[in-house]
Amino acid sequence: MRWWILSLLVGAMGWGPVGAQPRTVVLRTNLPEAFVYADSVLLGTAAQGRFSIPPGTGVLRLVPPAVDAWSIPPVSRSLAGLPAADSLVLTLRFPYRYRIETIPFGASVTLRRPDGSRIDLGVTPLTHAAAEPLEGVLLVERTGYLPERIEPGRNLWNRAVLSLTPALRTSAPQAEVTWSPPRRPRRWIDYAAVGLAVSAGALSVYYKFKADDLYDAYLRTGDPALRPRVTAYDDRALVALGAMQVGVGVLAVRLALRR
């Protein structure tokens, strides 16, 4: 009678029926430093690997250590419905979390994987959870700012805060602003100036030679009729020389303005 009453008391206190044996759980996780709880009972750290679970335990929980505990929520597994075996193998893994913040916010975050594929993760401020560490490069882009590239990281909690650099804005050329075509150099003026200088110089030399020949004939013959012709050729030579100087001057000015 006493043993029956004691059995009822033990069952009411949650210790399980008399004669129930603790279960052995082999725990596998990616955070060996995490604390293992059987309901509210601390069993130790996950690094132990093997735990004796008290009878009647409903939930097995893994809680991160105090460092960064605020950023990594605990993971748990209900033991209800599991095979009633003396030994169980459970895997409880923490997700890998990535926190991306930018100044200013609103930048798109894209994962470029090693195979070249792209996955859009969202817009900053962004918190992304993955079952496995992200592989590749994170591209952070926002209109009007230079793009940024960061390595995702392989820790359970990965955080990056980026201050985006504004892209330099170059002023548009005047031709584009006024919607007028750019001015093309007027090379025909150069060609005309060169042609004028050459042809006028040749004429000046020709007229000067003619005047000299007629003057020599005048000296030999003394014919007064040759004097007006000598003067006329001299005048033509002077006019041609002046035209040559004009062509040379125009060409010199245009060359000086191009510097």
Q: pLDDT tens digit string along 196-209?
A: 888 888 888 888 88
The domain defined by 96-163 folds into Immunoglobulin-like (2.60.40)
pTM over 0.75: no
Both structure tokens of 8: 């009822």
Q: Is 61 helix (H, G, I), strand (E, B) or coil?
A: strand
pLDDT at 2 over 50: no
Instruction: Round to whole Å and give the CA distance between 109 and 140.
Output: 5
A 10 A CB-CB count for 214 gives 20
Exposure letters 187-200 (e unless 16+ CB within 10 A, then b): eeeeeebeebbeeb
The pLDDT tens digits for 156-185 are: 889 999 999 998 765 545 545 555 555 666
Closest CA to 99 of 69, 66, 72: 72
Measured in whole angstroms, how far is the alpha carbon of residue 121 from the centre of its chain? 16
Handedness of CA 126, 130, 132, 136 (dihedral sign): negative
Handedness of CA 6, 10, 12, 17 (dihedral sign): negative
Closest CA to 155 of 96, 237, 198: 96
Per-chain mean pLDDT for the chain: 81
Residue 237 has what pLDDT? 82
Q: Where are the alpha helices (DSSP H) in the chain?
A: 2-12, 174-177, 187-221, 226-257
Residue 249 has what pLDDT? 83
The pLDDT tens digits for 18-38 are: 445 778 999 999 999 999 999
